[in-house]
Amino acid sequence: MSLWMTWLGVVWQLRDAFTRQRTFLWATVILASFSVRGDLAGVSSFIRAHWLVPSCYRRLLDAFHSQGVDLAELRKRWTHICLKIFASHCVKESGRIILLADGIKAPKEGRRMPGVKLLHQESSSNSKPEYVMAHSCQAVSLLVRSEGSHFAVPLSSQIHEGVVFSNRDRRTLLDKLLSLIESLGLNESFYLVADAYYASRKIAMPLLELGSHLISRVRSNAIAYEQYIQTGRRHRGRPQLYGRKISLKSVFKDRSYFTVTASPIYGESGVNILVYARDLIWRPLRSTVKFIWVIHPSRGQMILMSTDLALSPVRAIELYGLRFKIEVGFKQAVHTLGAFGYHFWMKAMDKIRRGSGDQYLHRKSAEYRDRIRQKLQAYNLHIQLGLIAQGLLQYLSITFREEIWKKFGSWLRTMRKDISPSEAVTALALRHSLPEYLLNLDKQHILRKFLKDKIDWSRCPEFRLCA
């Protein structure tokens, strides 16, 4: 009971993002279905998860395409809720929260799905093809500390490639990531931890203007400059800024610069690494940043960059070492929640060919472009609701660890009850406790009234709601 009461208490705070109460109640059903469904076969799995009557299938599809959802407001309210409910668990450095950013490709075979394009996957996994037809999304997560582990709580994710509405649009993926972060409505500064793709002026400069900082890996061919020191008489003209050019990779050749320190990387103990840090001028910013060279005995060499000169090199390594948690979150979002498992077609859309790129719509009619926008809105809403459901599971995992393990009612080869359970374990505990919660729900509760005539009693006679 306490699991679902807490779950519903958090969900109810999202009410202001919906213009109608009925739309909000359908969204509540969708969030619950994300959390308890036993398979990931699209919207039909929601019908099975809640024992709904078949006619609800169309209503669920309409809910994803509804104009009564303010997606921007939903994203903003969910971010504020996360900062409140995870306030005591947020990983912070110098009073700043830690945001993780990365991209994910959601494979799609639909030939009438806007935004689907041929994308290259940089992965060493044999299970992933080098090229795939997919939706290209970028995501932002909040790093929180749980019992014996960490979670990357998803704040938002959005499709950022595949459709071009105007040929004058020159925004890159970096610009769109910044727009996504701005849409979260954060009122506090943060560290953005990202991989080498985001080590760019387009990311670093706006963050510095907001009082935030970037921690990222830099490419091995990167260069930096020493500060120019004036010797002798200064000549007319702009003062020289750049001194000697340094190839960052060449620093690894002389290990006398490095100091030995215990590895701060998550999950490692008894491992020593070599670390060297130096403040150099990074040409894209035209200012000084901190570069950190790391030599790991088994993981090899890496160069990190931090725009915060006061940040400890060891702490920067530790924070970047936790970046993989967003990828763990992606795995749960795909395989446990099915947040990227939407299958909404657009019948009136021009078919796309396999291997095609961006879909240019600047010569299409206004009505056609509006329908494309509506379909993309449905995709993004499906993703956002799936990520909210994942964040709710993480919150319950941290808050009700012992109760979740009691209600788990299944078996795992390795059951570590001393740490916070995964989203999959929490989802199974919610699934087992859902009938009890529905039976004990107050007769006057609006959710009970909403579900009463939508349940197919022939599929769940033992869990029948009282009249």
CA distance linking residue 56 with residue 46, whole number of Å: 9
The three-state secondary structure class of 70 is: coil
Query: Last residue of a domain, which of 281, 305, 322?
Result: 322
pLDDT digits (tens, 9 = 90+) for 257-302: 999 999 999 888 889 999 999 999 999 999 999 999 999 999 999 9
- Higher-scoring residue by pLDDT: 305, 458: 305
Do 39 and 45 touch, CB atoms closer than 8 A?
yes
- Do 248 and 340 belong to one domain? no
Q: Give, for 102, the enclosing helix (H) or strand (E).
A: strand 96-107
Whether the predicted model's global pTM rises above the 0.85 cut: yes
- Do 44 and 157 belong to one domain? yes
* Structure token pair of residue 362: 């600047």
pLDDT digits (tens, 9 = 90+) for 398-418: 999 999 999 898 888 888 888
The yes-or-no verdict on residue 67 having pLDDT over 80 is yes
Q: Is 463 domain-assigned?
A: no
CA distance linking residue 427 with residue 392, whole number of Å: 10
- Do 340 and 307 belong to one domain? no
Do 90 and 191 touch, CB atoms closer than 8 A?
no
For 28, left (φ over 0), alpha (ψ -120 to 50), or beta? alpha
CA distance linking residue 42 with residue 68, whole number of Å: 22
Mean pLDDT of the chain: 92
Give the confidence band of 421 by pLDDT, cuts at 50, 70, 90.
Answer: very high
Q: Is 466 domain-assigned?
A: no
Q: Is 413 domain-assigned?
A: yes
- Do 173 and 297 belong to one domain? no
In this prediction, residue 466 carries a pLDDT of 43
In this prediction, residue 442 carries a pLDDT of 84
- Do 155 and 259 belong to one domain? no
- Do 334 and 348 belong to one domain? yes
Give how many domains the chain has, as a whole number.
Answer: 2
Q: Is 458 domain-assigned?
A: no
Q: Is 465 domain-assigned?
A: no
The DSSP bridge partners found for residue 25 are none
Q: At what angle do helices 423-440 and 21-36 cross, to 10 degrees?
A: 130
The yes-or-no verdict on residue 86 having pLDDT over 60 is yes
Q: Supply the range of the domain harboring residue 429.
A: 2-195+325-452
pLDDT digits (tens, 9 = 90+) for 200-221: 999 999 999 999 999 999 998 9
The yes-or-no verdict on residue 233 having pLDDT over 90 is no
CA distance linking residue 191 with residue 92, whole number of Å: 9
Query: Last residue of a domain, which of 293, 322, 351?
Result: 322
The yes-or-no verdict on residue 198 having pLDDT over 80 is yes
For the segment 301-313, the average pLDDT, to the nearest whole number, is: 96
Query: Which stretch of 81-85, 138-142, 205-209, 449-453 has the lowest confidence by average pLDDT?
Result: 449-453
pLDDT digits (tens, 9 = 90+) for 41-53: 999 999 998 889 9
Q: Where are the alpha helices (DSSP H) in 274-365?
A: 313-321, 324-332
**Number of CB atoms found within 10 A of residue 310's CB:** 8
Strand spans (E) along 185-334: 190-194, 213-217, 223-227, 242-247, 259-262, 272-282, 287-296, 300-306
Query: Last residue of a domain, which of 269, 288, 322?
Result: 322
Q: Is 462 domain-assigned?
A: no
- Do 91 and 62 belong to one domain? yes
Q: Is 369 domain-assigned?
A: yes
The yes-or-no verdict on residue 189 having pLDDT over 90 is yes
Strand spans (E) along 147-252: 149-159, 163-164, 190-194, 213-217, 223-227, 242-247
- Do 329 and 310 belong to one domain? no
The phi, psi pair for 234, rounded to 5°, reads -85, 135
Distance set, CA 17 to CA 71, 72, 209 (Å)? 7, 8, 29
The yes-or-no verdict on residue 465 having pLDDT over 50 is no
Give the confidence band of 462 by pLDDT, cuts at 50, 70, 90.
Answer: low
Residue 381 amino acid letter: L
- Do 286 and 146 belong to one domain? no
CA distance linking residue 321 with residue 299, whole number of Å: 12
Query: Which stretch of 8-12, 18-22, 199-203, 229-233 has the lowest confidence by average pLDDT?
Result: 229-233
In this prediction, residue 467 carries a pLDDT of 42
CA distance linking residue 415 with residue 75, whole number of Å: 34
Q: Is 461 domain-assigned?
A: no
- Do 365 and 254 belong to one domain? no
In this prediction, residue 8 carries a pLDDT of 95
- Do 300 and 361 belong to one domain? no
- Do 30 and 176 belong to one domain? yes
The yes-or-no verdict on residue 76 having pLDDT over 80 is yes
In this prediction, residue 461 carries a pLDDT of 52
CA distance linking residue 112 with residue 348, whole number of Å: 8
